[in-house]
Structure 1
Amino acid sequence: MGWVSTDNEHEGWAACVAPDGRLSSSYSGEGMLVEGVTGRYERDKVMSDHEVVPDVEMIGWRGACTCGWQGELWKRVMSPADADFSHRRDYVSLDGFADASQEVEDAIHEEWKTHIAPSEAILGLEAAAREHAQAGQRLDKTVAAAKAAGASWADIGRAVGISRQSAHERWAEKQ
């Protein structure tokens, strides 16, 4: 596979695309493995619910994620002269493996990172909320300790940037 999100909920990769649109999940010595059986290709010997599509037949690449997300198609062109990165076209020789070039894989990785950005941001938000709650508990305990040590509400309010009255209203019942 390729990349894993911080929460381990998303795993993405640059998948080869078969002529019928199915995405590769892995590969074997004979070609790319795609889930499903159409009868057009030979079944994989190990995963019988997958077919082996020859590398030469792969039409391009797209981002894929375990959550079901798919990126836009990067088309495989038949000659280097037809390659145009700005139009999502790249040349990979028909002689070897159909894996995306490093440049296309990097672009797909960036697309996948955009896909997971909301969940990554939520993780940051959850962490900040936990830290905020912990800081609040620490502040409450420290205020109680200061009050027990003889500090006035005016001193406590001044230390935390609020008025004496606000400090009293916030912490007096917690004593």
Structure 2
Amino acid sequence: MGWVSSDNKHEGWVACVAPDGRLSSSSSGEGMLVKGVSGRYKRDESMPDYEIIPDREIIGWRGACDCGWQGELWKRVGSSAEADPAQHREYVSRDGFADASQRLEEAVHDEWKAHIAPTEAILGVEAAAREYSQAGNRLNKTVAAAKAAGASWTDIGRAVGISRQSAHERWSDKK
């Protein structure tokens, strides 16, 4: 399961970490697919530049983003008693798939959201700036229409919350 930023420029996911530090990009029924060929693992038949790392050999997980960002390493521990989210330690049995637990998925998602927070905030600024510009254009047009309809600068200024003189200075040349 992955996540996509509002601008579609960031896609994040929980990646399994191979013993040599490579991150998985997906999985198969035989294990986790990692890019690169070390010669230690079986190559994937459909993607020959990927190796299949058995689930039992996955050493942990980390957040990954297609922009290159990587989150903190969450170490795979041998028992539930050793698991400690505060220390980035999680237990997932070596007998099954190495998929991240729900708790780990949520924690890594939070890390990824912190990674994209500046981008998301700038998107908000850009949207507000567009709205501000559009509102300014609407105000200029409605002031011109009010003046053309015979409204005084005093009435226009009062409607906008400024003085008659300020209204005249701001819009008299925009008729």
Superposed pair shares fold, TM > 0.5: yes
Stretches of structure 2 that go unaligned for 5 or more consecutive residues are none
TM-score (norm 1): 0.98
Letter in 2 for 1:17: V
Aligned residues: 175
TM-align CA RMSD: 0.8
TM-score (norm 2): 0.98
- The equivalent residue for 1:92 is 92
Query: 1:82: how far off?
Result: 1.4
Shift of 1:47: 1.2
Runs of at least 4 residues of structure 1 off by over 4 A?
none
Superposition pairs for residues 121-160 of structure 1, below 5 Å? Answer: 121-160=121-160
Residue 21 (structure 1) aligns with: 21
In the TM superposition, what is the alpha-carbon distance from 1:49 to its structure 2 partner? 1.3
Q: How far off its partner does 1:42 sit?
A: 1.2
Residue 100 of structure 2 corresponds to residue 103 of structure 1: no
Specify the alignment match of 2:7 in structure 1.
Answer: 7
Q: Deviations over 1:2-60 (max 9, x none)?
A: 10111100010011000111110000111000111111111111111111101000000
Shift of 1:173: 0.7
CA deviations 1:106-158 (Å, max 9, x no partner) are 00000000000000000000000000000000000000000000001111111
Separation (CA, whole Å) in 1 of partners of 2:162 and 2:35: 63
Secondary structure of the residue aligned to 1:48 is: coil
Between the aligned partners of 2:172 and 2:37, the Cα distance in structure 1 is 70
Other-structure match for 2:57? 57
Identity of aligned residues (%): 77
Q: Which residue of 2 aligns with 1:113?
A: 113
Report SS of the residue matched to 2:21. coil
Task: State the match for 2:46 in structure 1.
Answer: 46
Q: Kindly provide the CA deviation profile for residues 52-99 of structure 1, in whole angstroms up to 9, marking residues without a partner as x.
A: 101000000000001000000000001222111221111100111001
SS in 1 for 2:143: helix
SS of the residue 2:110 aligns to: helix
Letter in 2 for 1:19: P
31-40 vs 141-150, which moves further: 31-40
